[in-house]
Amino acid sequence: MQKMLREWLKIRNMHLFFPYAIGTICAILLAIILIQRAMKCRKEGTPFINFKGYHFFKPGYDKVKLWGSVILFVLYIVCLPILHFAWASVVFIFLFNVLFEMKPGKPFEFKSVLISAVIALVGSWGVWYLFFQIFNITLP
């Protein structure tokens, strides 16, 4: 077991650490959610899966932000191999910030666009520097 762990933690495999860690955390959280749902349904005497009167989205949800986020996320994944981590992150963090700063019927404020650009540049290059230079972990 120790030999397998040592091999897995070698530098050539370090880029796999966070995907496995996040996947494990998500699996644990999903199990907790399902257990809580089962306990609530058992206590109330309702079925575990009940689609009658169920709405996934609340009425009046912001369609532009939801579907814009989905589209931007897919485009980020597509552009990642082309632009590489740092530049793709700069572009898409900026676009996400602008998307969430949008208010219907109001023009963009220069100050908010400038703040979005600073956050995108400093955040992306800061994360890249931290992982690649300091921790010596490769990013895609």
Domain positions in the chain are 1-54, 55-140
Identify the pLDDT of residue 10: 64
List, run by run, the mean pLDDT of 10-residue segments along the chain (140 residues).
Answer: 64 70 94 94 87 78 92 94 88 94 81 90 87 77
Report the alpha-carbon distance of residue 91 to residue 75 in Å, rounded. 11
Report the alpha-carbon distance of residue 95 to residue 101 in Å, rounded. 10
Identify the pLDDT of residue 20: 85
Determine how many CB atoms are found less than 10 A away from the CB of residue 92: 20
Identify the pLDDT of residue 5: 63
Identify the pLDDT of residue 85: 81
